[in-house]
Amino acid sequence: MLIPITIVSLIQFDVINLNKNSNEKINNLIFKDSLEKRSQQDQEIITKTKKVQEEANSTKQEFWKQNEALNSKNKPNRLSSSNTSEKNRIQQQTKVSNKSNTNSNFNSHKLNQVKLDSIKLSSFGIIKNELILNPELMEKEDEHQTNKDSKLNWAVKPFFGSNLMQPLHKEHPLASANPNLSQNFQLNYSYGAQFFIQLDKKFWLYTGIAFQNYSYQAKHINISPERTPSLMHYINTRSNNFVSQQTIENFSNSSEEITLNYKLDYYEIPIMASYKVIDKKLNIFAEGGGSVLHLRNNNVSMSNYNDKDLNLGEFNIFNNSHFTLQAGLLAELPLSKKFSLEAEGLYKYHFNVMDNVNTYSINFNLGVKYKFKY
pLDDT digits (tens, 9 = 90+) for 198-208: 999 999 999 99
- As a whole number, mean pLDDT of residues 319-325 equals 95
Could you tell me the pLDDT band of residue 324, with boundaries at 50, 70 and 90? Answer: very high
> Would you say residue 367 has pLDDT above 90?
yes
Give the Cα separation of 326 and 323 in Å (integer).
10
DSSP H or E segment with residue 7: helix 5-17
- Pick from 254, 265, 255, 258: nearest CA to 231: 258
pTM (two decimals) = 0.58
Give the Cα separation of 349 and 43 in Å (integer).
83
DSSP H or E segment with residue 34: helix 23-72
Relative orientation angle of helices 5-17 and 23-72, to the nearest 10 degrees: 160
Could you tell me the pLDDT band of residue 151, with boundaries at 50, 70 and 90? Answer: confident
- As a whole number, mean pLDDT of residues 6-17 equals 52
- As a whole number, mean pLDDT of residues 301-324 equals 86
Position 23 scores a pLDDT of: 60
Go through 229-262 and write b for each residue having 16 or more CB atoms within 10 A of its CB, e for each that does not.
Answer: ebbeebbeeebbeebeeeebeebbeeeebbbbbb
Contacts of 205 (CB under 8 A, 6+ apart): 196, 197, 199, 271, 272, 273, 274
Position 16 scores a pLDDT of: 54
Position 272 scores a pLDDT of: 97
Position 355 scores a pLDDT of: 83
Write out the DSSP string of 141-196. Answer: HHHHHHHHHHSPEEEEEEEEEEEEE---GGGSTTTTT-TT-EEE---EEEEEEEEE
Position 273 scores a pLDDT of: 97
Position 112 scores a pLDDT of: 45
Position 123 scores a pLDDT of: 42
In eight-state DSSP terms, residue 4 is P
- As a whole number, mean pLDDT of residues 182-203 equals 90
> Would you say residue 255 has pLDDT above 80?
no
Position 127 scores a pLDDT of: 40
210 three-class SS: strand
Contacts of 58 (CB under 8 A, 6+ apart): none
- How many CA atoms, within 13 angstroms, populate the side-chain half-sphere of residue 75? 11
Position 190 scores a pLDDT of: 95
- Pick from 64, 56, 61: nearest CA to 82: 64
Flag the least confident range among 120-134, 204-218, 314-328: 120-134
Could you tell me the pLDDT band of residue 83, with boundaries at 50, 70 and 90? Answer: low
Position 27 scores a pLDDT of: 65
> Would you say residue 29 has pLDDT above 50?
yes
> Would you say residue 197 has pLDDT above 90?
yes
Flag the least confident range among 48-62, 138-152, 156-170, 341-355: 138-152
- Residue-wise pLDDT tens digits, 269-312: 999 999 999 998 999 999 999 999 999 999 888 887 777 788 88
Go through 333-342 and write b for each residue having 16 or more CB atoms within 10 A of its CB, e for each that does not.
Answer: eeeeeeebeb
Position 70 scores a pLDDT of: 72
Go through 16-25 and write b for each residue having 16 or more CB atoms within 10 A of its CB, e for each that does not.
Answer: eeeeeeeeee
Position 345 scores a pLDDT of: 97
Pairing relationship of beta strands 309-315 and 235-236 according to DSSP bridges: antiparallel
Could you tell me the pLDDT band of residue 338, with boundaries at 50, 70 and 90? Answer: very high
Could you tell me the pLDDT band of residue 19, with boundaries at 50, 70 and 90? Answer: low
- Give 22 or 186, the one with higher predicted confidence: 186
Give the Cα separation of 223 and 234 in Å (integer).
12
Query: Is 188 in contact with 213 (CB distance < 8 Å)?
Result: yes
Give the Cα separation of 26 and 35 in Å (integer).
14
